[in-house]
Amino acid sequence: MMKRSAIILLTFAIAAGTSSLTAQTVTSGLRGPTPLNDEGPAPPMLPNRNTSEREVRNYPEQPPVIPHSIDGYQVDLNGNKCLSCHARARTAESQAPMVSITHFMDRDGQFLGSVSPRRFFCTECHVPQNTANPPVSNDFIDIDTLLSRASPGGRR
């Protein structure tokens, strides 16, 4: 008797649980108020940041992000639009930062005369930045902030 009433109770509980699940709209920061079994409207595409001002790197090894639009830039076997400003010989005219010397290095650490083939495809590491607000916040702090934090024993 005790067992049966427990099963009935459990059944009701599960039924109530599922109905409340389907009734309420699950609000999630990422997918919005669209029910789980529907596909919501795609968010509008936002323009890329196009300030042409260098952005701070979060850590020294970070590939600098591209602070301008690169729509339609051809980077393939035939040519590299990025290098028509960022190549060593082009920087006087373009006033763009030169590709770093590490890009001239092959995998054995030998410096080549021009950009190494393995570093030719810029957008493998360097990417333009969008103006969208990130849907998930990021609590990354850089090393300078970490080091300047007041530690329990006082700043060293």
Partner 1 sequence: MTTTADEPEVKRGFIARCWVFARELWQVLTRPSSVFALGTLVLAGFVAGVIFWGGFNTALEITNTEKFCTGCHEMKDNVYAELKSTVHFTNRSGVRATCPDCHVPHNWTDKIARKMQASKEVWGKIFGTIDTREKFQDHRLELAAHEWARFKANDSLECRNCHSADSMDITKQSPRASVAHQRFLFTKEKTCIDCHKGIAHQLPDMRGVPGWQ
For partner 1, the binding residues (CB under 8 A) are 50-53, 68-69, 71-72, 74, 77-81, 83-84, 87, 90, 94-95, 114-115
Q: Is the dihedral of CA 54, 57, 60, 62 positive or negative?
A: negative
10 Å Cβ neighbour count for 82?
21
Nearest CA to 68 out of 53, 58, 83, 56 is that of 53
Q: How far is the CB of 67 from partner 1 (least distance, A)?
A: 9
Residue 56 or residue 150: which is nearer to partner 1 going by CB?
Answer: 56
Q: How far is the CB of 111 from partner 1 (least distance, A)?
A: 16
Residue 31 or residue 65: which is nearer to partner 1 going by CB?
Answer: 65
Residue 72 or residue 152: which is nearer to partner 1 going by CB?
Answer: 72
**Are residues 46 and 131 in contact, defined by beta-carbon separation less than 8 angstroms?**
yes
Residue 62 or residue 114: which is nearer to partner 1 going by CB?
Answer: 114
Q: How far is the CB of 76 from partner 1 (least distance, A)?
A: 8
**Are residues 123 and 75 in contact, defined by beta-carbon separation less than 8 angstroms?**
yes
Amino acid letter, residue 104: F
